[in-house]
Structure 1
């Protein structure tokens, strides 16, 4: 029998599932082993990724928590009771010693069920501004782990983000031979490792503002000798391809599974500032121009604040990312090798590379404290 039995609760988006799986990998590698069960929904990304990782998935009903009074609020109590019952069964059946929550729809019923059953809770919050579920669970959690300093949760411990396997491996490879990994990454993507390379991404869905502004400056970037790898988002590549037609150094893809090679080949990244992106780039020591999503609760701006303050990145408002910015300040930055190197070093100094190990330590400690 494994020394640790844990239920990991999180799902819906890659932001919840990726750190969950990274933590699961760390726990499974403990000397005494671990019996792990994942709590998720049938609709989220976890429904595919968790079984692919070889972990058992227990399903709970999806329970969105309305941020403001709506007719959906009237249905919340019944839905939540059903979800808590399902979470309670999963905890009991798995004989979990600890529940580890990563926020999102699944987390609230898991936290409530654990409290009812007297099982310790460990929470990980990925964003600088915590979500509703983790704000609730933090009130009685045994430990609260955060990705960014200053995240407003009581008694929080800074662990950083548990890095997904491909990025953790890239961190080690770059530490051993950054130049060799750059050449390998460039070769995998058909890039020239000798040219200064800008990686542009708006995430899997793409970002229209980023696509339009950078592609409008494509000719100027190419004329200055800058190589661009532009990931547009699914279904959003044709306008960018048209703008970059005939430019040998401007590479357009709608999506890329091998982000490790893209990061390995890049000198600078222009991207949104989701928690995963900011954490991965800092861990890798990659300078970035962050363009926070202009909607939502402002979490993306906060996510990037610390690494920007440390000198490892720049913040540009969505409205200020124009073709003039691309052909002006951005092009100037790309042409200044010393500044790019300094940004890289500052990003690395702000980055946390052992987030999974730090979180696993809190999990083991909480499991050992259960009466």
Structure 2
């Protein structure tokens, strides 16, 4: 979907930068807005330091750069510089909103959203979307003066919050894993029939997951299991090939997430909100390994799926090659259990979240 500068419809500005967890829902919303209003314009805000500078233009949306306002986690020198940084970013953001003729600002949290909320306050209507079970600072601020507040899960504590789920890409929502399986396995060089485990640790990879799963490579080979493992661009994997066994394929990054999901029978991954939403939507049984630091939100993200029977949670410190083998090998050979878990996972998601949020945003513009 590409941006058309001759459109005369509403101008929707999306603010979600930094990590894929903020950018992907913003882009899923952008696509949904254009499905409902092909005459609309969608403009994204971003900073030089986030993943958005590559992801957003490659999806065909214009990206306007603003100065980042990083949130210091502790009282330090950066905290003293913050008011000046905020003022600079807000002024730059206001100029962008005026220039593009923004009719509404939709923020998804993170350090791009805060200046967007402050710049739009009292001038342009605001809609806030939060994907996490625990809400970040930017969205707590934005929700105070937003027209509508949308959240992925109940009980976030945000005022007037409406539960809509997490907006997901069409390619994920419409994914037929079984129809694409042969193509997906051929694409990654995986065994066409062997039970297959997909492993990833977020866009940067995760060392504890990498070590535990690669340490189990010989056991996977002996059990006739194939592995597709995205180890992250800054890490590398050394796994010995076992002749005659299904391949253990290591890649730095998964460009084609749809094909990775289609190739897999089970996934072992972190439990970021976006990851949990996608994995559940495509019906993949999952072993979730929440990030050990932070405020515990990743375990909360995975909890509803686990309670429904669509996944398991393993604490990061308990993740050893032995634990990986014990949890995944019997599961990958149990077709009946895989089917039941897949069905349970799919039942927990909000597949129409992008369209629901897009209607909410366009309602705000109409008013």
TM-score calculated relative to the size of structure 1: 0.91
CA–CA separation in structure 1 for the residues paired with 2:244 and 2:317: 27
Match of 2:147 among 135, 142, 145: 142
Give the drift of 1:19: 1.5
Cα 1:93–1:152 change in 2 (3 A) is same
CA–CA separation in structure 1 for the residues paired with 2:254 and 2:62: 28
Cα 1:265–1:95 change in 2 (3 A) is same
The answer as to whether partners of 2:290 and 2:299 remain within 8 angstroms in 1 is: yes
User: In the alignment, what sits opposite 1:171?
Assistant: 173
TM-score calculated relative to the size of structure 2: 0.92
Give the drift of 1:53: 3.0
Deviation string for 1:112-153 (max 9, x for gaps)? Answer: 121132x21101112211111001111121111112333332
Match of 1:254 among 245, 252, 255: 252
Deviation string for 1:181-232 (max 9, x for gaps)? Answer: 1122112222233221111112332222112212222222222222222222
The answer as to whether partners of 2:199 and 2:229 remain within 8 angstroms in 1 is: yes
User: In the alignment, what sits opposite 2:351?
Assistant: 353
Gaps of 5+ in 1: none
Give the drift of 1:170: 4.4
Deviation string for 1:289-318 (max 9, x for gaps)? Answer: 000010112121111111111111100001
**Segment drifting more, 27-36 vs 274-283:** 27-36
CA–CA separation in structure 2 for the residues paired with 1:67 and 1:215: 33
Structure 1 residue 238 corresponds to structure 2 residue 269: no
User: In the alignment, what sits opposite 2:222?
Assistant: 223
Give the drift of 1:328: 2.0
CA–CA separation in structure 1 for the residues paired with 2:292 and 2:94: 38
Cα 1:312–1:71 change in 2 (3 A) is same
The answer as to whether partners of 1:103 and 1:133 remain within 8 angstroms in 2 is: yes
CA–CA separation in structure 1 for the residues paired with 2:340 and 2:58: 40
User: In the alignment, what sits opposite 1:152?
Assistant: 157
Alignment of 1:299-338 (within 5 A): 299-338=297-336
User: In the alignment, what sits opposite 2:90?
Assistant: 84
Match of 2:75 among 65, 69, 91: 69
Count of aligned pairs: 360
The answer as to whether partners of 2:172 and 2:281 remain within 8 angstroms in 1 is: no
User: In the alignment, what sits opposite 1:131?
Assistant: 136
Cα 1:339–1:367 change in 2 (3 A) is same
Deviation string for 1:54-94 (max 9, x for gaps)? Answer: 33322221111223321111111111111111121222222
- Output the aligned Cα RMSD: 1.8
User: In the alignment, what sits opposite 2:18?
Assistant: 12
Cα 1:236–1:78 change in 2 (3 A) is closer
Cα 1:75–1:179 change in 2 (3 A) is closer
Cα 1:209–1:65 change in 2 (3 A) is closer
Cα 1:78–1:254 change in 2 (3 A) is closer
SS of match in other structure, 2:174 = helix
CA–CA separation in structure 2 for the residues paired with 1:25 and 1:359: 11
The answer as to whether partners of 2:290 and 2:298 remain within 8 angstroms in 1 is: yes
CA–CA separation in structure 1 for the residues paired with 2:44 and 2:171: 24
CA–CA separation in structure 2 for the residues paired with 1:252 and 1:245: 14
Gaps of 5+ in 2: 1-6
CA–CA separation in structure 1 for the residues paired with 2:58 and 2:251: 26
Give the drift of 1:235: 4.5
